[in-house]
Structure 1
Amino acid sequence: MDVRGKKGMILGGFGLVGMAVCRRLAIEGVAELVVTSLKEQEALKACDSLKKEFPGITFTPAWGDLFVRTTFKDDARAEVLSDPEKRRTFIRDMLDPLIPEVIERITLHAQIVEHQPYFVVDCVNTATGIAYQDLYEQSEKVLDSLDRHRNEPVDDDLVKIVEDLISSLNAPQLVRHIQILHNALIDGNCRGYLKIGTTGTGGMGLNIPYTHSEDRPSRVLLTKNAMGGAQTLMLFLMARTPLQNDDGTIREIFVKEIKPAATIAWKAVRAGEIRKRGVAFPRFNMPVESALPLGSSISTRETEGPWSRDGDDTLRSVYIDTGENGIFSEGEFTAITEVGQMEFVTPEEIAQQVAWELMGGNSGHDVIGALDAAVLEPTYRAGVLRQVALDKLRQVKKKWEEDGADLDESVAFELLGPPRLTKLLHEANLIRHAYKTMRAASMAGPDQIAEACQSVLGRHEKLRSAILSVGVPILMPDGQTYLRGPNILIPHHAVQTDFEVSDATLDNWTKSGWVDLRPSNMKRWLGWFDKILRQKDERPADDTSSRYDFDETYFDPDDEINPGKMAGWIFINIDKGKRVKR
């Protein structure tokens, strides 16, 4: 990728690594950088500083919490979670089905779509932000509150504590973030995304001495590590997700991650007031002669005692500022960077790796590329044995039937999922029963196919039962009546079991997991058959090369319809679910 003259977006651009990346890319000749930060003043300050260094480049500030809807982006997270209505909205945005309305209202999506960057470099420490909401502490609060409210009516305090726990669930937050990010890159016409990730432990193992509690390492720190690893694997999936255009071509986009495995330092060396989460340490003192006797218990919070507050004085010292990683004393910095501890890497070195990867170089530190190289892909042996397995299935079926067994057709058991696969396999099988070949089916009209499939269901009780027994309903050709068993897979909700029927909901259900015998769906199948035949006919007759995945006989219109082949073709060509790496 040539970044010269291009627009980029740096998420977390005010931070230690973010500013270094901005400077490095400015040197490489970008035309514009959109610099985002949590707070407005941070984004403005970063852009003002960069403009002074690089007056020929445009720096555009953007700000707000990327993980919430735009109407909450300037609110502190604590403020959002303290308001009952906002808290419930935050939870619903995290857990509701992923529909365009949910995607488009989240700040991350809105900012990427608004600015349309050519590439995005993500310097936000996502894993830390999610893990440090401390699911464990919230869980303890819920368990304590449940014990206190046992056999009592639920009150607002209990509701808040439970909703705070749901709000801190880390996996759903990370999953929703990746979903929003993926859609934002598509809708924002981006060509590349590079993440600055984290190991969660500065490259150290389970023996890391730097922790948040008496545990070593703490559960919170391990959660940060788990989130960093989970994010990497989801980016691995993003990198294997082609942005397939309607004409079948693939839109070029890359996904990379650089994962520093050391402390990142430093931003500045300063002297002044020492603050924790923005709050200064008030200075307390206690005379030696006032030492308290140890009793049988001790409280971690007391409002009164023999200690005294030294006026308005606060802790002040010299410190090293490591940006979003906080400030360290001389002793802390010496310990953490000691050889054999976390040691450290500078933000400028990280920025150099970013530039190399963006511009097509190989830094050797892209963990997504490393995973691609390390995973065990499909093998030649398995490809050869695939047909052996299919042949054995048919041989076993023939033997059992010769011995008098009355087997169900091996079409779909709804064990692989999703229900859409089961629906497609059974629809293809019904058309196979009715017409046998694609050519014969293509000569009929949608109404005829619908009636023929209904007739097949009427004659084959066992086939009909096999569909209904796995939870897949059958919508009849009239669109007004349906067949079902006791359980239905689609629609699905964890609590709700009754759903309103409308044209819109019915169309969604039939697409997701109902066998649909309406003529409108049979027209869709005719379109698919026609597309398959055109793909075959458009292939050069004299082309005997390795250009195509399948030869001209794979989808012979006069061969019996193979439901599995049809479902695979639909997933690749219609649902855009093609595998691109192997």
Structure 2
Amino acid sequence: MSIKDKNILILGTGQIGFAVFEELNRLDCKKIVLHSYSEQEVLLLKEKVHLIKRDKTNVEYVFGDIYDSIETIKSQNDIINTNLYKICKQKGIDIIIDCINTAAVLGEQLASWNKEIKKNSIPSKELNTYEKVNNFIITLKETYSACNIDKYIKVSTTGLGGMGFNMGYTHGDAKSFYLSEDILGKLHIAGAFHQLLWALNRTSGYDISVIIPSACIGWQDVKIDPLPPFKKTESSKNISIEEINKRIVEHDIKDQIRITQVYLGENNSYSREEVALLTQLNQMEFVSKQRVAKIVIEELKSKSNNFNLLNAMDISMITPSYKDFYLRNLLINKMDYQNSFLEVESLVTNNLGRDVAIDIMELFIVKQLLNNSLENIHKCLEYGDLKLQQKIKQFFETNPIYRNYFLSLGFSILLDDEIWVASNFGEKTDYIDYRSENITFLLNKVLETVTFFKRENTTFDYNHYFVDIINSNNISVGELLGMIYSFEGKGREVYYNKDLKNKSDIYTKKYIFS
């Protein structure tokens, strides 16, 4: 990817974020937007940038809380009020490089929640940290699409510097049975965040990378400063002074002790000997911020970077095989045999959700209109509204068990001139839309899908399988709906070209029954 003509947003301008800026600054990008949490941080940032900024680089500054939602995001209106969306829209952002230490920022907020869990008490019902993570991912997903973002790179953390539970001291943990609430919070947030980003990356139209240094990162500043305030946590040598049978001698602390300290990740400072221990071979070790920044730039330029966690997750997945698909067909054949003893087809249980159930039941009536053959689509499209409704009602008059089947699932059946409901329905009901307008809509959707999969130049690897479904003299509603979902971009992979994808967008339902 060429980045010279791109507008790049760097979220979080601490050690890593500023190191990434230094690398981009050498590449003469069109515009770099630097984000900090507060206005005060921006003022300090401007002083640092002024010392190294090249004349060809246009640098702008923004500040604010990226995790600013105070309520669970439920609609597009909630998205456009978030800081991330506003920044990307106003600045015309093409690439987002997220260097915020999310695990630390939100992990601290999760600490009190973990403390409540460890006490076996019920956590408070305020907007919890997991909801904030979810809000951010939803915001990123919608912002990415609405603002035509090309790439999102997250610089994240392992939570324990790549070490195991035996290395809690790397983050100040005492030698105790539990990891501290702070560490648990970091691990929880990092894991949830990575998994959600992985799912987003596997969604068509999104290019997401996660870069994770698995060691101590540094350094920022070496200073002679007063001793930092310490957290009153218990160690393995914690005692109660009152219980010791010794003379207690108190001393006044008059002098403020100053020592040489280095500020490493998360703005914590460490002494010389602590650094020697922490970064020693076979302990947490050390990765420079400059190397992390260079890897981020490499990831921007190429998708083949070995340091992208999501690539590793993709490679290590157990993916479906030909033999698995053969066994899947045996399972379906077994279900067909069992179902041959019943009066109704095995259509829905509701366990894939109400929307999927509705899609199956609406497509089921299309199957009846087509008389089990997709070759009859054009003939059905020539029916007028009146004939469509007559044939639908005629089917239910001949097969009343299907009406009972659908109503017993808690659905009503919506027709052009009436609505069928169960006698015990409430004020609100989900409905199956058998109005002629919707049936015509579905017939066109089926026609568009079938036409695509019959094309010889389609890029689906298993096109012959889909052609067999199309030519079958017994339509499988599930197989046909799966093809429609794939055509609409809801499958594991998206194979069709962009023009076809956009064309299929016209088949989004634009009307609802109220």
Aligned to 2:463: 549
> Who is 2:99 aligned against?
123
Query: 2-side partners of 1:390 and 1:230: how far apart?
Result: 35
**What amino acid sits opposite 2:421 in the alignment?**
L
**TM-superposed deviation, 1:217:** 2.3
- Alpha-carbon deviation of 1:46? 2.3
Q: How many residues align?
A: 475
Deviation at 1:2, TM superposition (A): 1.5
Shift of residue 274 of structure 1? 4.6
The reply to whether residue 428 of structure 1 matches residue 363 of structure 2 is yes
C-alpha contact 2:411 2:421 (8 A) present in aligned 1: no
Distance 1:22 1:486 in 2: 64
Matched position secondary structure for 1:208? helix
Deviation at 1:193, TM superposition (A): 1.1
Of the three residues 565, 571, 580, the one matched with 2:479 is 565
Q: Which runs of 5+ in 2 are unaligned?
A: 232-239, 496-514
Contact 1:432 1:560 (8 Å CA) reproduced: no
* Distance in 2 (alpha carbons) for counterparts of 1:129 and 1:552: 48
Structure-2 residue corresponding to 1:242: 204
1:579 pairs with 2:492: yes
Q: Give, in angstroms, the shift of residue 109 of structure 1.
A: 2.1
Matches of residues 406-485 of structure 1 in structure 2 within 5 Å? 406-415=342-351, 417-436=352-371, 437-438=373-374, 439=377, 440-478=379-417, 481-484=419-422
* 2:61 alignment counterpart: 61
Q: Tell me the alpha carbon deviations over residues 532-579 of structure 1, each in whole angstroms, 9 at most, x when there is no partner.
A: 354367x36xx69977734784464894543113321332234x3122
Secondary structure of the structure 2 residue equivalent to 1:256: strand
Contact 1:319–1:329, Cα closer than 8 Å, also in 2: yes
Residue 20 of structure 1 is matched in structure 2 by 19
Amino acid at match of 2:90: E
Residue 356 of structure 1 corresponds to 298
Structure 1 position 260, deviation (Å) = 1.0
Identical pairs, percent: 22
1:208 touches 1:217 (CA, 8 Å); kept in 2? no
Q: Which amino acid aligns with 2:274?
A: E
- Does the residue aligned with 1:198 lie in a helix, a strand or coil? coil
Residue in 2 that maps onto 1:294: 242
Distance 1:424 1:145, change over 3 A: closer
Q: Deviations over 1:476-525 (max 9, x none)?
A: 333x634247688xxxxxxxxx76xxxxxxxxx8xxx6311223322321
* Contact 2:225–2:258, Cα closer than 8 Å, also in 1: yes
The reply to whether residue 333 of structure 1 matches residue 247 of structure 2 is no
Question: Which residue among 180, 183, 187 is the counterpart of 1:225?
Answer: 187
Map Cα deviations across residues 373-398 of structure 1 (whole Å, 9 max, x no partner). 11011112123444433333333333
CA gap of 1:533–1:61, structure 2 versus 1, over 3 A, is same
Instruction: Quote the Cα distance in structure 2 between the aligned partners of 1:37 and 1:215.
Output: 37
TM-fit CA distance, 1:307: 7.7
**Residues 551/52 of structure 1: CA separation in 2 closer, same or farther (3 Å cut):** same
Please tell me the residue identity of whatever aligns with 1:254.
D
Deviation at 1:21, TM superposition (A): 0.6
Aligned pair partner of 2:443 in 526, 548, 569 = 526
Distance in 2 separating the partners of 1:324 and 1:485: 62
Q: Secondary structure at the match of 1:222?
A: helix
Q: 1:365/1:272 Cα in 2 relative to 1: closer, same or farther (>3 Å)?
A: same
Question: Residues 315 and 430 (structure 1 numbering): CA distance in 2 closer, same or farther, change over 3 Å?
Answer: farther
Q: Is the alpha carbon distance of 1:55 and 1:397 closer, same or farther for their aligned partners in structure 2, counting shifts above 3 Å?
A: same
**Paired letter, 1:457:** F
Aligned pair partner of 2:215 in 240, 251, 262: 262
Q: Does the 8 Å CA contact 1:450/1:519 hold for their aligned counterparts?
A: yes
Q: Find the counterpart in structure 2 of residue 302 from structure 1.
A: none
Change (3 A) 1:240 1:142: closer
**CA, structure 1 residues 395+114, in 2 after alignment: closer, same or farther (shift >3 Å)?**
same
Who is 1:81 aligned against? none
State the alpha-carbon separation in 2 of the partners of residues 374 and 177 from structure 1.
27
Q: Deviations over 1:247-294 (max 9, x none)?
A: xxxxxx521111111111101101224555xxx99xxxxxxxxxx961
Distance 2:241 2:269 in 1: 35
- Counterparts in 2 of 1:75-474, with a 5 A limit? 90=70, 93-94=71-72, 96=73, 98-136=74-112, 140=116, 162-163=124-125, 166-167=126-127, 169-210=128-169, 211-212=172-173, 214-243=176-205, 253-275=206-228, 294-295=242-243, 316-322=258-264, 324-360=266-302, 362-398=304-340, 401=341, 406-415=342-351, 417-436=352-371, 437-438=373-374, 439=377, 440-474=379-413
Task: Tell me how far 1:233 sits from its aligned partner.
Answer: 1.7
Q: Identify if the C-alpha distance between structure 1 residues 218 and 413 changes in structure 2 by more than 3 Å, giving closer, same or farther.
A: same
Moved more, 215-224 or 100-109: 215-224
Whole-Å Cα distance in 2 between the matches of residues 457 and 224 of structure 1?
Answer: 57
What secondary structure does 2:88 align onto? helix
Per-residue Cα deviation, 1:120-140 (whole angstroms, up to 9, x for no partner): 111111122222113545764
Quote the residue 2:236 is aligned against.
Answer: none
2:23 is equivalent to residue 43 of structure 1? no
Shift of 1:59: 1.0
TM-score by length of 1: 0.73
Distance 1:423 1:544 in 2: 29
The structure-2 alpha-carbon separation of the partners of 1:138 and 1:221, relative to structure 1 and needing over 3 Å to count, comes to closer
Q: Which residue of 1 aligns with 2:499?
A: none
Q: 1:449 to 1:127 in 2, by over 3 A?
A: farther
Q: What residue in structure 1 maps to residue 508 of structure 2?
A: none
Cα separation, partners in 2 of 1:130 and 1:469, compared to 1, 3 Å: farther
Distance 1:336 1:197 in 2: 20
Q: Deviation digits for residues 452-485 of structure 1, max 9, x if unmatched?
A: 324433442322232233333333333x634247
Aligned-pair CA distance for 1:336: 1.7
Cα distance in 1 for partners of 2:423, 2:258 equals 72
Separation in 1, partners of 2:257, 2:423: 70
Moved more, 519-528 or 199-208: 519-528
* TM-score, scaled to structure 2: 0.82
The 3 A distance-change label for structure 1 pair 121 and 557 is same
Q: Secondary structure at the match of 1:2?
A: coil
1:201 aligned partner, one-letter code? L
Asked if 1 retains the 8 angstrom alpha-carbon contact of 2:412 and 2:421, the reply is yes
Q: Does the residue aligned with 1:133 lie in a helix, a strand or coil?
A: helix
Query: Secondary structure in 1 aligned to 2:395?
Result: helix
Structure 2 distance, partners of 1:293, 1:229, is 41
- Change in 2 beyond 3 A, CA 1:361/1:172: closer
Contact 1:47 1:59 in 2 (8 A): no
Kept after mapping to 2: 8 A contact 1:207/1:217: no
Q: 1:544 & 1:11 partners in 2: Cα distance?
A: 40
Checking the alignment, whether the CA contact within 8 Å between 1:266 and 1:321 is kept in structure 2 is: yes
Measured in 1, the distance between the counterparts of 2:485 and 2:58 equals: 43
Distance 1:435 1:6, change over 3 A: closer
- State the one-letter code of the partner of 1:10: I
